[in-house]
Amino acid sequence: MIAATHTHNGPVVVDYLHPFATYGLVDLAGIQAYSSWLEDTVVDLVRTALLADRTPVTLDYTVATETFAYNRRGLSYVETAVPVMVARSAQGDPRAVVFGYAAHPTAGGLRSQFDPDYPGGACAEIEAAYPGCIGLFLLGAAGDQGPLGITGLDSADALGARLGATVLEAVARRGRPVDGPVRTQLTEIPLPLEISTDATTLANFRNAFVERLKNLEGQPAYYQRHAEIMIARIDTGNISTTVPFLARLWTFGGADPLRLLFTSGELVSGYAVYFRARHGGAERLWVGGYADELPCYIPSNEFFPPTMPNGSYEGGWAADFPAVAAGSMAAYGWAAHFRYGAGGVEQAVIAGIGSLLA
């Protein structure tokens, strides 16, 4: 699994977010070069790992608690779980600590240099406490979760130290043993967009994007850049009606298993609450997003009417042209927002992941 920490002070890659729509970047040579380097480095890393000597370890798992996340859209869901899995040597020394939390890594604010935000600080705390140990962070369902406090590098450092200390306490007390067998599953679920490819619908969307180019409502500049791209796609018949959504499940053990559920996209926290409540809580199910692919936010029905009647960034829509992509869906380069309600995105996510967990 390839998972993103999603620090907002990380480098841009060619696929998502859309470099021109989001940032206005026209010359993509540097971005393409970095993306190619990253792909080659990941492939080399996997090859090296497959050829490396094996180190026997035991696994144990526990769930700690942190409280610096808040729901930035005012919903009732606030993530507090800090899942911690430790790989220990035969002598009991930590060799790797895999841990998670669900808060957008935006504590550092917007910087001109790359910065790992609080996940990097937490990993550094773990690796300093146990030389030779690797700290690995997995971002949870953080689509609507942000870090409390004033942004700045001091805040990112403080939260990193705080989360690192929480994880180290969990490492010291050890969790319940985790054993085999290990079973893996991966599925792709098409999530429906509120658009069809019939001539009338596409003409209406094109007209809406033409209006967006005028920017009469004073929208962000990326709305105009997005409109320019979408007009070209409509004119060339290159419009998607679904978003591919990946969900993977790792199951450890038999009679009393631990399951790790990770999805693509910016998964909102309501899904973590929903699936944990039905499958043993955080002690039995670890839920995260930002894995394998990052096509867009994965919202629930709460990001659409009637809960949010005036648009929402996570839902990817605005009130000026309700069916047309706005907010996050414009930044990610889609023509429309997700369908919601009956037969919509929430129902598809719950049905698809539910079949994995059945």
Give the end of a domain, one of 178, 201, 231.
178
Q: How many domains does the chain have?
A: 2
Give the end of a domain, one of 178, 210, 226.
178
Phi, psi of 53 (to 5 degrees): -65, 145
pLDDT digits 0-9 by tens, 313-328? 999 999 888 889 999 9
Same domain, 296 and 346: yes
Task: Kindly report the pTM of this predicted structure.
Answer: 0.95
Alpha carbons 215 and 208: distance in angstroms, whole number: 11
Same domain, 80 and 110: yes
* 173 within domain boundaries: yes
Alpha carbons 74 and 68: distance in angstroms, whole number: 15
Same domain, 27 and 94: yes
HSE-CB for 325 with a 13 A CA cutoff: 29
Below-50 pLDDT ranges, the chain = none
* 221 within domain boundaries: no
Same domain, 25 and 154: yes
Same domain, 168 and 276: no
* 88 within domain boundaries: yes
Alpha carbons 321 and 32: distance in angstroms, whole number: 33
Alpha carbons 236 and 251: distance in angstroms, whole number: 44
Q: 3-class SS at 225?
A: helix
Alpha carbons 240 and 233: distance in angstroms, whole number: 10
pLDDT of residue 76: 96
Please name the residues in contact with 107: beta carbons below 8 A apart, sequence gap of 6 or more. Answer: 117, 118, 147, 149, 151, 152, 155, 156, 159
User: In angstroms, what is the C-alpha Rg of the chain?
Assistant: 21
Token pair of 231 as six digits? 């007009």
* 217 within domain boundaries: no
Same domain, 152 and 251: no
298 close to 247: Cβ distance less than 8 angstroms = no
Same domain, 166 and 309: no
Same domain, 302 and 159: no
Alpha carbons 21 and 225: distance in angstroms, whole number: 5
Cβ burial, residue 31 (10 Å; 0-12/13-18/19+): middle
Alpha carbons 300 and 314: distance in angstroms, whole number: 9
Same domain, 256 and 316: yes
* 1 within domain boundaries: no
* 291 within domain boundaries: yes
Give the end of a domain, one of 178, 199, 223.
178
pLDDT of residue 219: 85
Residue 106 is classified by DSSP as -
Token pair of 13 as six digits? 């890659």
Same domain, 89 and 136: yes
Same domain, 166 and 27: yes
CA separation (Å) from 289 to 43, 197, 230, 294? 22, 30, 27, 9
Beta strand spans in 108-230 (E): 134-139, 145-147, 176-178, 182-192
Neighbours of 173 (CB within 10 A): 11
Alpha carbons 265 and 294: distance in angstroms, whole number: 4
Same domain, 172 and 66: yes
* 4 within domain boundaries: no
* 216 within domain boundaries: no
Residue 238 is classified by DSSP as -
Quick one: which of 253, 280, 245 has its CA closest to 81? Answer: 280
CA separation (Å) from 109 to 104, 150, 202? 11, 9, 39
Alpha carbons 346 and 313: distance in angstroms, whole number: 16
Neighbours of 264 (CB within 10 A): 22
Residue 164 structural domain? 19-32+54-178
228 close to 213: Cβ distance less than 8 angstroms = yes
Q: 3-class SS at 215?
A: coil
Token pair of 307 as six digits? 């809960």
